[in-house]
Amino acid sequence: MLMPNLRPSPISPTVDFDADGVQHGFLRLPYSRDDSAWGSVMIPVCVIRNGEGPTALLTGGNHGDEYEGPLALYDLARTLDPKDVSGTVIIVPAMNYPAFRAGTRTSPIDKGNMNRSFPGRPDGTVTEKIADYFQRHLLPRADIVLDFHSGGRTLDFLPFCAAHVLPDKEQEQKAFAAVAAFSAPYSMRMIEIDTVGMYDTAAEEMGKVFVTTELGGGGTSRAETVRIARRGTLNVLRHAGIVSGAVEKTPTRWLDMPSGDCFSFAEDDGLIETMIDLGESVEAGQVVARIHSVGRTGGAPQEIRATMSGVLAARHFPGLVKAGDCAAVLAVVE
């Protein structure tokens, strides 16, 4: 699995990915620091294997302030019976474990954004070393990858499962079939602002079936979104033929992000006022948010207008906003 001209990964797994049964262990990454000269970052991992069959790689905590994925995956690692499995399930509930423990989007060690660090480096920062291990050792094992996201502390989303439009239409069709199986209240044909360095891109370039989510946000979780995550995980595993049982389908509403016009950004600092709620319809030209100056009274708010028609799929979450922050995301109902 090693790529030429790269040194071996410094990460050592304490589990055997090829052994049958249930194993709970760690991806141990040496990390020498002031409070622990020979210390390590210990990233929890669970492997549930029962004979030959496809492999699913399930990940949460790619960003450390997003909680539906970790809640669903820690629970699955505890409860999934290997007798119900045909193949292998690899569960990493908190990919960027330092960020997860700190409750921050990026790592407190090196400020690394895991989802902008691929393919990583075995001799790089802590975040780059983790990305490199996934790139060279875990992704090659997987047939299907489910990576959980939500809005973290700065965005709030409609609860949706998503895949990307891809050049390989057979690969794309398999991904959207898995999205349909997940059965979130919304299903999204998604585009990204910037795909460079993303885990998604790394998996898709290997030809993997890659599925992701955005399940709420605001730096917390809700009972509804955690239920969606738990049910959706089992649905994807059943769809892939890895876990026995029928997919529990629920109604979903398909959305599309056709272009960069979906995104609206703040041009000034201030106090943001969302003018419509998530899921509500928007017409092109409609004011979706206003930014009020907080430096003094008497100023007119800056209006942010929709550049397309659709529904509000995401909004900025905290009351205060900075220039350049994403203020709103629109999507088209299919």
For 14-24, how does the pLDDT look when each residue is reduced to its tens digit (9 = 90+)?
A: 999 999 999 99
Q: How many domains does the chain have?
A: 2
pLDDT given for residue 1 in this prediction: 42
Residues 111 and 229 reside in one and the same domain:
yes
How far apart, in whole angstroms, are the C-alpha atoms of residue 229 and residue 11?
29
| Average confidence score pLDDT of the chain | 96
Residues 283 and 243 reside in one and the same domain:
no
Token code pair at residue 124 = 């790089």
Residues 64 and 210 reside in one and the same domain:
yes
Residues 68 and 200 reside in one and the same domain:
yes
Per residue in 182-193, is it b (16+ CB within 10 Å) or e — as a string? bbbbbbbbbbee
Question: Which residues span the domain enclosing 46?
Answer: 4-253
Residue 67 covered by a domain: yes
Residues 281 and 133 reside in one and the same domain:
no
User: Checking phi first, is residue 270 left (phi over 0); if not, alpha (psi -120 to 50) or beta?
Assistant: left
- What pTM value is reported for the model? 0.95
Residue 211: give its domain's CATH number.
3.40.630.10
Residue 121 covered by a domain: yes
Contact in structure between 205 and 253 (CB atoms under 8 Å): no
What confidence category does residue 4 fall into, taking pLDDT thresholds of 50, 70 and 90? low
Residue 300: give its domain's CATH number.
2.40.50.100
Residue percentage of the chain with pLDDT more than 70: 99
Residues 161 and 272 reside in one and the same domain:
no
Residue 258 covered by a domain: no
Residues 234 and 287 reside in one and the same domain:
no
Residues 204 and 144 reside in one and the same domain:
yes
Residues 100 and 154 reside in one and the same domain:
yes
- Give the domain-ending residue among 223, 253, 283: 253
Average pLDDT, stretch 277-300? 96
What confidence category does residue 214 fall into, taking pLDDT thresholds of 50, 70 and 90? very high
Please give the sequence-ordered ranges of beta strands (E in DSSP) within the chain, or none if there are none.
Answer: 12-13, 21-30, 40-50, 55-59, 87-92, 144-147, 155-157, 160-164, 186-190, 209-214, 253-256, 263-265, 270-274, 281-282, 287-292, 302-305, 310-316, 320-321, 326-333
Average pLDDT, stretch 120-133? 98
Helix or strand (DSSP H, E) at 334: none
pLDDT for 55 beyond 70:
yes
